[in-house]
Homo-oligomer: A and B are copies of this chain.
């Protein structure tokens, strides 16, 4: 399999103006290497983020952009996630001023000081678990925290989830699943990174089990088909990720787009609305990023009308 290595600096934004690090044909499996969100700078429990990262510049380095041959605005990019392997034997999480779902921050201002900082290092144990101690020990369930195509006008920080993907922190962008992203520019300009060895729903403190990784992907194009927000397909389910604030706006986007997807299978909109009322799933992917992400799901068994 072809390995495409990062050329020069990683980007900290989804940026169509950068030189692609490689060109990929639909149908070719390729391998990328990703850095952790801290650029590998937080390495021990003595490394408090405030100190280690204060002069580090931007965070969340992305691997890319890849130029996808044949991709044009108005197409949909289909990304098969074939595999994610760790490239080191430890992961890191921390409470980082002033990030987090339960602490004031840039967009949720209070007069209070942020809560204190703390770093946890997890190592693979002999059962393959990422283990800090007997209580904090989690299985290897990796996914791509960020996966995106570039916008045609804006350059978006790699900390942001948006309608072309980005920092959704949705545990469903994992091996075995397919991610569909809108294409806004020729070549799509694909980026990925921010692999999480595991993460709960919401990514509560703002930092999952961050790790560097080797990622195996394959791309396909749906020519002339335009989608508005990222879609995910698992063997059993169809999903849409909506990202916005307040969180109910993210939820509405996710379910409204899922209804639109169901109409492609012959559903009437009001019947799809009814079906999701009785059998839809709706969970929070992140409640910590610049905007929040909600994932709406329906089983294929229900969605695929006979």
Contact = CB atoms under 8 A, between A and B. Distances in A.
A103 B112 contact: yes
Contacts of A58: 153
Contacts of A294: 284
A93 B302 CA distance: 18
B135 A13 contact: no
Interface string A262-306: 000001011101111111111110010001101010000010011
A109 B208 CA distance: 21
Contacts of A207: 277
A202 B283 CA distance: 9
Interface in A44-97: 58, 93, 95
A64 to B, nearest CB: 15
B95 A273 contact: yes
A118 interface: yes
A200 B281 contact: yes
Contacts of A244: 107, 245
Interface string A235-266: 00000001011111101110111010000000
A205 B112 contact: no
A222 interface: no
Nearest to A303: B135
B202 A251 contact: yes
Nearest to A130: B278
Contacts of A203: 277
Contacts of A206: 277
A136 B200 contact: no
Contacts of A280: 200-202, 204
A159 to B, nearest CB: 10
A251 B247 contact: yes
Contact of A282 (B15, B281, B284, B296): B284
Contacts of A208: 277-278
Contact of A247 (B199, B200, B247, B279): B247
A13 B269 CA distance: 34
Interface of A: 12-13, 15, 17, 58, 93, 95, 100-104, 107-116, 118, 120, 134-136, 138, 153-157, 198-209, 242, 244-249, 251-253, 255-257, 259, 267, 269-271, 273-284, 287, 291-292, 294, 296, 302, 305-306
